[in-house]
């Protein structure tokens, strides 16, 4: 009969190493980084650093990895909209034409620093592999000088923590005249 001594010793040693490695992560390392784009300031996940090409009115975009679904797009000058609802209506109209199985899940008013109106629209779409994806648009507008900013988030499933982080960090620097 073989003794389990060396195996136990190796297993114990590996356990100590794994615990030590777990302690090496710096709790002060931020999970989000602030990004400024035109009139927009917002936090995006630090890990989402791979730039992606975007089409106007989007001006910057980042994803987790070159082939990942997770992405965030920014527009620091989304257009001359008097209200967030007006800007959101444009997004929804385009999405109904261009995105497979586009479905609005929720629309709600929110407050964004520097904006007179703001809305979040959560939606789902189907990708080329027929998998459902979750998206969110956060749009802020300023009146009486019509202007807007926007953030678009796409993930495999709704991420309320990510949405909250973006909402809590989002600011609009409106041109007042």
5 located within any domain: no
Mark the ranges of the chain whose per-residue pLDDT is less than 50.
1-3, 6-25
* Residue 122 counted as domain residue: yes
Tokens for 43?
């936090």
Distance CA 97, CA 94 (A): 5
Q: Is residue 9 part of a domain?
A: no
Residue 46 belongs to a domain: yes
Write the CATH number for 165. Answer: 3.40.1000.10
Q: What is the pTM of this model?
A: 0.83
Tell me whether residue 61 is in a domain: yes
How many domains are contained in the chain? 1
pLDDT, position 177 = 75
CA angle 53–63–91, rounded 5-degree value = 65
17 domain residue, yes or no = no
Q: What is the pLDDT of residue 30?
A: 86
**What DSSP string describes 86-122?**
HHHHHHHHHHHHHSTT-EEEEEEE---BT-SEEEEEE
Structure confidence at residue 12 (pLDDT): 37
Q: Residue 153: give the domain boundaries.
A: 30-172
The percentage of residues in the chain with a pLDDT greater than 90, rounded to a whole number, is 81
The Cα–Cα gap between 22 and 31 comes to 17
Establish if 123 belongs to a structural domain: yes
In a domain, 23, yes or no: no
What is the C-alpha separation between 2 and 156, in angstroms, rounded? 49
Predicted local confidence at residue 4, as pLDDT: 52
């Amino acid at each position: 009969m073989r003794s389990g001594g060396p195996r136990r010793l190796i297993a114990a040693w590996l356990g100590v190493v794994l615990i030590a490695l777990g302690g090496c992560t710096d709790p002060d390392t931020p999970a989000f980084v602030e990004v400024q784009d035109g009139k927009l300031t917002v936090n995006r996940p630090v890990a989402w650093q791979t730039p992606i090409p975007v089409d106007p009115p989007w001006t910057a975009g980042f994803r987790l990895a070159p082939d990942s679904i997770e992405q965030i797009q920014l527009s620091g000058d989304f257009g001359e909209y008097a209200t967030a609802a007006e800007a959101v209506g444009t997004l929804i109209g385009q999405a109904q034409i261009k995105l497979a199985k586009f479905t609005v899940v929720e629309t709600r008013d929110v407050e964004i620093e520097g904006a007179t109106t703001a809305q979040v629209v959560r939606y789902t779409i189907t990708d080329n592999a027929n998998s459902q994806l979750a998206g969110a648009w956060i749009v802020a507008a300023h009146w009486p000088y019509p202007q807007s900013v926007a953030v678009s988030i796409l993930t495999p499933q709704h991420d309320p923590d990510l949405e909250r982080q973006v909402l809590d960090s989002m600011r609009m620097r409106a041109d007042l005249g």
